[in-house]
Amino acid sequence: MIIVMSQSASREDINNVERKLSQLGFRTHPIFGDIKTVIGAIGDKRLLNTQEISTMPGVESIVPIMKPYKLTSREFKQTPTIVNVGGVEIGGDKIVVMAGPCAIENKEIYIDTAKKVKEAGADILRGGAFKPRTSPYSFQGLEEDGLKIMAEAREITGLKLVTEVVDTRDVELVASYTDIIQIGARNMQNFRLLKEVGLYKKPVLLKRGLSATIEEWLMAAEYIISEGNQNVILCERGIRTFETATRNTIDLSAIPVVKEFSHLPVIVDPSHATGTWKYVSALSKGAVATGADGLIIEVHSDPNCALCDGPQSLKPSKFSQVMEELRKVAEAVGRTL
Amino acid sequence: MIIVMSQSASREDINNVERKLSQLGFRTHPIFGDIKTVIGAIGDKRLLNTQEISTMPGVESIVPIMKPYKLTSREFKQTPTIVNVGGVEIGGDKIVVMAGPCAIENKEIYIDTAKKVKEAGADILRGGAFKPRTSPYSFQGLEEDGLKIMAEAREITGLKLVTEVVDTRDVELVASYTDIIQIGARNMQNFRLLKEVGLYKKPVLLKRGLSATIEEWLMAAEYIISEGNQNVILCERGIRTFETATRNTIDLSAIPVVKEFSHLPVIVDPSHATGTWKYVSALSKGAVATGADGLIIEVHSDPNCALCDGPQSLKPSKFSQVMEELRKVAEAVGRTL
Amino acid sequence: MIIVMSQSASREDINNVERKLSQLGFRTHPIFGDIKTVIGAIGDKRLLNTQEISTMPGVESIVPIMKPYKLTSREFKQTPTIVNVGGVEIGGDKIVVMAGPCAIENKEIYIDTAKKVKEAGADILRGGAFKPRTSPYSFQGLEEDGLKIMAEAREITGLKLVTEVVDTRDVELVASYTDIIQIGARNMQNFRLLKEVGLYKKPVLLKRGLSATIEEWLMAAEYIISEGNQNVILCERGIRTFETATRNTIDLSAIPVVKEFSHLPVIVDPSHATGTWKYVSALSKGAVATGADGLIIEVHSDPNCALCDGPQSLKPSKFSQVMEELRKVAEAVGRTL
Amino acid sequence: MIIVMSQSASREDINNVERKLSQLGFRTHPIFGDIKTVIGAIGDKRLLNTQEISTMPGVESIVPIMKPYKLTSREFKQTPTIVNVGGVEIGGDKIVVMAGPCAIENKEIYIDTAKKVKEAGADILRGGAFKPRTSPYSFQGLEEDGLKIMAEAREITGLKLVTEVVDTRDVELVASYTDIIQIGARNMQNFRLLKEVGLYKKPVLLKRGLSATIEEWLMAAEYIISEGNQNVILCERGIRTFETATRNTIDLSAIPVVKEFSHLPVIVDPSHATGTWKYVSALSKGAVATGADGLIIEVHSDPNCALCDGPQSLKPSKFSQVMEELRKVAEAVGRTL
């Protein structure tokens, strides 16, 4: 940690900061520049409340040298984490595809879609039983009835399940049905919910918040891991920018950045990122070529009838074709699908 | 609602959309342009799942004509709402000032700060007992012990209380202590939490999300109001942009926009918006002159010792001086403080 | 074009708008909703100054139905444009790679780099002779001396040239040396410069502005094409967002969006987009898999000595390896490199 | 300047960086932490090309301690700069108001508007003769004929003039007519244009770019000042964010930030920032209360007929009323108008 003193800081200000750091267990090394002084502080900043320093007279700013996350970092664990979901490995050579409708609306259609995505080669079945919707007047999900339908689809197809939880009070229930617990973008900094899912061993799919930096996203993972659950899968799903041609701006550069700073696997959601089924094929290929460990794609037997997010759903036939294309791209970058 | 058909839409596509809209209870009016056709649909879009239309063959886009919120809108209620907090009116002529430390750390300091902000003219005392922190290693709040300290400070000073709730499981507890329940920026789209506080009659301070549009913010208010609680106070606290000189970018234009589209009162948090106590005085005056109904300002007896957000806290003496300056600005725009 | 009247608009307001539109040569179709009235106006909006309408009493907003660009649009020209740069085709099956140093600093190093990128399979040589730099104290380029070095490198290697112009007064000079004129991100809305390069027949590489929407980018292309120069190549180079882990956020979803709305070829600059050479390989593959028609990559014989943008330059050996990887990805999506 | 070495940097890497810095004239101070080493480098970073260091093996990042601008900084010149425009002082106690239409379309209307804004108390007359327009099909300005009309309006009213220049080739012409040369938001990083206006003594109104950080804005000022022209007035005109309710997001926090880091005066353009005349009054008051040194407001005798930006123009009667309101706010913050 480097403490930058302002140009007008007095010698006494500098001494006070050094004394304080020393009390807090840091070793200090001041460097007296021509105009400003900076103080190097050696010790673990994560244990420190930096405000105690940043508000002292003469302090201009504090520059952290170490990342704020620890268990999530590549420095802590140098080999990539492979999350095992009942035999399906996420983070290994094989690109894992999760597919299915946004919401579960109707048992027959859901099971029909499940069979078709299985046939096309998907590994994991998605579906929403608890839906976070912008409007209170929109369909909010079938709740436990939806989870039951998902379980039935798993029995029929053998696909593993991923579904979202939105309330700390529902974590136990959701965990009892699903194979992967999803934390949605809007809940990425719902810290109580992160802690709650951290108490289980179930893999967690952690979506990046709409305006979350990669560092904040990794800090959200840290919340889960620090409670004891190391099975975290990151999911890039687009960030909010000024561009309006797509629903969000998919940030594929997040893939190599995450791979550099963390050991966790990262997948991409091109359906929510773009908001338009027409762009899903192109961005799925782009994500795999960039290094994603998997994809989560919306597929719906009848997109015209979807109660939510229809415009971004692929029909099963189109999905099947996308899978074929992806296979070639996966091979081109030395992976399988 | 206007349905824009693509240039390549066939006559049959157009007929199908009209037929579908008609089944859904809309009256339709097609306009055949030289290149494209648009279809006007008369009826309440809020009751409709627009995806059923947007995914039909030949449909390019849907343009909503009405706002998605209803109870929150100025059209629904034309007179400004005044929220009454045990006698303190928010949204009336008087600018209401909420002040106090970010977190409650220590009873003596908290009560000392409370007395001082009361003396300087604040109406409501802030303080955090449950803190949503970016890092799991940061101080998370004193929880119920903090609420007890707040209640004691209320007894001593007569100030009303505002404090944040972060978990649906704590709403009852928090509501039993506080006068205003705060929903923080990170929970603006924690829809279950919004619904939960909507079940109480307690006033709710609803902070704008870091990357929430004004429309989404008003939709979050709609969640609360649609459950029966009309006592919603909006709070602008800065949005996330590319600028790094301030922690967030305070969006004061949100004030006249909210006033045009909604009847709800709106206050401003210059402390969190800027992240720096040096800018709080200037932006407080700016907010009042722009038309804010109130302010929420961080004040701490000893900012150097604050366990969170110290750099943005004012000392009581500085706060007192800001209040003096604000009084003049309030009068200049025909209000009191 | 749809004119949305406000809820409080009178019958007379509506009549006045219809009369005005009629005078301006539009046919009008009012639709009287339960709450609001909208007026459909048939005619070419591009010839109209919409402010004349938008400021009339009772008008709430105007919704355009047609895109504001014409010559750039896919509707105007349905087959993809292939820009021919002295035999090198951009926009065809072959992925075109432009490579070279950011700035030309030294003849020997430049020519050495040119030979190496040629050897690795690049088609076009990049280099900056006029550099737009954030600081007046940074190296501003060798100007005409730089152009002469580029011409020599072309003679030796046979590579075509691309270089930036930053001043209307230099367009003639730059055009006399280069094969492609580059308009940088900061000049994407330097409309005079766009018009000036529109007067030549030389291909133009038009970089997307840091905060330009795709629509504004296509409008910038429209400026060039409307002066008579149809040889426009679009270049995505990252947009500005709140994320700081990369210099900009590369927006690969722009590729399918541009392909849908325009006939122009689009390439990607992963070097400037990410600002870090480590991420160039991953994003280059991602761009090609997503559908880019080419790449522009920074390569420097000795990145440690580059007077500008060194951290994002690849060494020739690394570039050569990236080209190998790209070849496989290109083939996987049915293209060559 | 602090050089942060990566965790894996070898002792030799560290020595090499120290040797290099020493060659470049810096004194170095390494600090060996438990995990990483940082090297403090004492000397003027502005003279250094940091890439030479940042690309050396083992270097993780470089943290600048000093700001990149010099002549623009408050450290260089501690007293606020007052720009004198033919007797009108900008940056002093008096709030200066610039007003007038966006574009000059018609002599009679322009002169009529000029008289009315003069009457209402404006000091400076605005008007555009060269218009940077998003569409090539929009009105581009009357060019020199427009400047002549402006000069005539000055003669009649005594108001000083401010008008935009968009091409290096026109600077001499524009400077010969106007009292303040405006650099528009889209040209904030048109470095050649900045240098060109730096060669004159005429005051320059430098608008902030749509996605420019405050630091980049001050660097643009540095371009002008470093050529010899110290008469720079900064103008905040809104930045681009995800919010769509206003055309841009006005960043009033830029006012105290600029005042802290620079000696230059700063004014605000609420008309372009919001894009809606309805919000101009509120934000004008907010800007003055926050500490702006002036305002530039669009006023048009007949907003319904404005060939550009009509929706954001005030009618003279409304402007007159806004001036009355502003006077009170100015007094409340110890200034005049």
- pLDDT tens-digit readout, C228-286: 999 999 999 999 999 999 999 999 999 999 999 999 999 999 999 999 989 999 999 99
Q: How many CB atoms are closer than 10 A to CB D172?
A: 12
Average pLDDT over residues B236-243: 97
CB–CB contact D241 A244 (8 Å): no
Tell me the pLDDT tens digit for each residue of B136-153: 888 888 999 999 999 999
Q: How confident is the model at residue D45 (pLDDT cuts 50, 70, 90)?
A: low
Specify the 3-state DSSP secondary structure of B123.
Answer: coil
Q: Which DSSP letter does residue D75 get?
A: T
- Residue D301: the pLDDT is 83
User: Phi first, then psi: what are they for C276, rounded to 5°?
Assistant: -140, 125
Q: Residue C199 is encoded by which pair of tokens?
A: 């007067």
Q: What is the CA radius of gyration of chain B?
A: 23
β partners of residue C100: C298
Instruction: Give residue C148's pLDDT.
Output: 97
What is the structure's pLDDT at D313? 86
pLDDT for B49: 64
pLDDT at B212 over 70: yes
Question: What superfamily would CATH give domain B83-332?
Answer: Aldolase class I (3.20.20.70)
Both tokens of residue B266? 């709106």
CA angle B196, B198, B201 (to 5 degrees): 120
Q: Chain A: give the shortest CA distance to residue B186, in Å.
A: 6
Q: To 10 degrees, the CA torsion angle through A262, A267, A269, A270?
A: 100
Backbone phi, psi, residue C237, to 5°: -140, 25
| B107: confidence class by pLDDT, cuts 50, 70, 90 | very high
- Which of C38, C59, C76, C77 best tests the B interface by mutation, with the highest count of B CBs <10 A? C38
**Mean pLDDT (chain C, rounded):** 92
pLDDT at D46: 62
Residues 208-247 of C with CB under 8 A from A: 211, 213-215, 239, 241-246
Cα dihedral angle (D107, D108, D114, D115), rounded to 10 degrees? 150
More confident residue, B276 or D289: D289
Confidence at residue B81, expressed as pLDDT on a 0 to 100 scale: 98
A317 three-class SS: helix
Of C215, A245, C73, C64, the C-alpha closest to B33 is C64
CA distance C304 to C326: 25
Q: Is A288 an interface residue toward C (CB < 8 Å)?
A: yes
Phi, psi of C209 (to 5 degrees): -65, 155
> In this structure, how many other beta carbons lie within 10 angstroms of the beta carbon of residue A36?
18
Top pLDDT among C6 and D119 is at D119
Top-level class of domain B2-63: alpha beta
Cα C309 to Cα C272: distance, rounded to the nearest angstrom: 8
Q: Is B23 on the interface with A (CB under 8 A)?
A: no
Q: Which chains sit next to B, with 3 or more Cβ pairs under 8 A?
A: A, C, D
10 Å Cβ neighbour count for D158? 13
**What is the mean predicted confidence (pLDDT) over B45-70?**
79
Q: Which residues of chain C lie closer than 8 angstroms to D134, CB-CB?
A: 68, 189, 216, 219
Q: Which residues contact C251 (CB under 8 A, 6 or more apart)?
A: A241, A243, A249, A250, C208, C236, C238, C239
Q: Helix or strand or coil: residue D264?
A: coil
List pLDDT tens digits, range C104-154.
Answer: 988 999 999 999 999 999 999 999 999 888 888 888 889 999 999 999 999
DSSP symbol at C328: H
Q: Is the pLDDT of residue D27 over 70?
A: yes
CA atoms within 13 A on the CB side of B189: 24
- The answer to whether the beta carbons of residues A295 and A330 sit under 8 Å apart is no
The H or E element that residue C5 is part of is strand C2-5
Query: Nearest 5°: CA angle at D255, between D251 and D257?
Result: 100
Residues contacting residue D12 through CB under 8 Å, at least 6 positions apart: none
Whether B288 contacts chain D with CB within 8 A: yes
CA dihedral in degrees (C319, C322, C328, C331; nearest 10)?
Answer: -60
Domain spans in chain A, listed from the N-terminal domain onward:
2-63, 83-332
Q: How confident is the model at residue C53 (pLDDT cuts 50, 70, 90)?
A: confident
Rg (CA), chain D: 23
Assess contact for B71 and B226: CB atoms under 8 A: yes
Cα–chain center distance at A110 = 25
Percentage, residues of chain B above pLDDT 70: 96
Instruction: For residue B298, give the nearest of B159, B98, B162, B163 by alpha carbon.
Output: B98
Question: Cα-flanking dihedrals φ and ψ of residue B233, to 5°?
Answer: -115, 125
Asked if residue A114 lies in contact with residue A124, where contact means CB atoms within 8 angstroms, the answer is: no
The answer to whether residues D2 and D62 touch, using CB atoms and an 8 Å cutoff, is yes
Check: CB of residue C323 under 8 Å from CB of residue C97: yes
Extended beta strands in D106-198, E state = 124-126, 160-164, 180-183
Measure the CA–CA gap between D96 and D112, rounded to whole angstroms.
21
B160-166: average pLDDT: 97
DSSP readout, A58-79? TEEEEE--S-S-STTBTTT--S
**Contact state of B42 with C31 under an 8 Å Cβ cutoff:** yes
Is residue C216 predicted with pLDDT exceeding 70? yes
Cα–Cα dist A290/A284, whole Å: 10
Cα angle value B277/B279/B281 (rounded, 5°): 90
pLDDT band at C306; cut points 50, 70, 90: low
* Residues of B (119-148) whose Cβ lies below 8 Å from A: 132-139
Chains B and D form CB pairs within 8 A to the count of 131
Q: What is the mean pLDDT of residues B194-207?
A: 97
Nearest to D38 among A2, A4, A75 (CB): A2
Q: Tell me how far apart the alpha carbons of residues A201 and B149 are, in angstroms, rounded to a whole number.
A: 37
Q: Could you tell me which chain A residue has the CA closest to the CA of D75?
A: A7
Amino acid D184: pLDDT:
97
D80 and C CB contact within 8 Å: no
Residue B321: name the closest of B93, B121, B161 by CA: B121
Give the ranges where chain C is alpha helix by DSSP (H).
11-23, 51-54, 107-120, 144-157, 171-177, 191-198, 214-226, 254-261, 270-274, 280-290, 316-332
* Chain B CB contacts of C34 below 8 Å: 42-43
What's chain D's average pLDDT? 92
Question: Shortest Cα distance from D223 to chain B (angstroms)?
Answer: 21
User: Where would I find the beta strands (DSSP E) of chain A?
Assistant: 2-5, 27-32, 37-42, 59-63, 83-85, 88-90, 96-100, 124-126, 160-164, 180-183, 204-207, 232-236, 266-268, 294-298
Whole-number pLDDT of residue A45: 65
User: How many degrees, rounded to 5, is the angle at CA C271 between CA C269 and CA C274?
Assistant: 105
**Taking CA atoms, what residue in B is nearest to C74?**
B7
SS3 content of chain C, % helix, strand, coil (to 5): 40, 20, 40
Calculate how close chain C gets to A72, using CA atoms only, in Å: 16
- pLDDT at residue number C224: 97
| Amino acid (one-letter) located at A276 | T
pLDDT surpasses 90 at D306:
no
Residue among B2, B66, B242 minimizing CB distance to C2: B2
DSSP secondary-structure letter at C272?
H
Amino acid letter, residue A180: I
Read off the pLDDT of residues C33-46 as tens digits, 9 standing for 90 and up. Answer: 878 888 988 877 66
Task: Quickly list DSSP for B259-316.
Answer: HHHB-S-EEE-HHHHH--GGGHHHHHHHHHHHT-SEEEEEB-S-GGG-SS-GGGPBPH
C336 close contact with A: CB closer than 8 A: no
Q: Is A66 on the interface with D (CB under 8 A)?
A: yes
Rounded Cα gap, residues D291 and B121, in angstroms: 23
Among candidates B243, B245, B253 on the partner chain, residue whose Cβ is nearest the Cβ of D250: B253
Give A54-97 pLDDT, tens digit per residue.
Answer: 778 888 888 888 888 999 999 899 999 999 999 999 999 999 99
SS (H, E, C) B239-265: ECCCCCCCCCECCCCHHHHHHHHECCC
Going by pLDDT thresholds of 50, 70 and 90, the confidence category of residue A51 is low
Q: How far apart are CA C135 and CA C132, in angstroms?
A: 9
| Distance set, CA A223 to CA A181, A194, A215, B136, D201 (Å) | 15, 6, 13, 5, 58
Cα separation of B249 and B256, whole Å?
A: 17
| Cα separation, D265 vs D83, whole angstroms | 8
**What torsion do the CA atoms of D120, D124, D128, D132 make, to the nearest 10 degrees?**
-110
**pLDDT recorded at residue D127:** 95
Q: Which two tokens stand for residue A299?
A: 């597929």
* Confidence band of C310 (pLDDT split at 50, 70, 90): low
Q: State whether residue C38 sits within 8 Å of chain B by CB.
A: yes
Q: Are A215 and A209 in contact (CB under 8 A)?
A: no
C106-121 burial, b if ≥16 CB within 10 A, otherwise e?
beebbbbbbbbbbebe
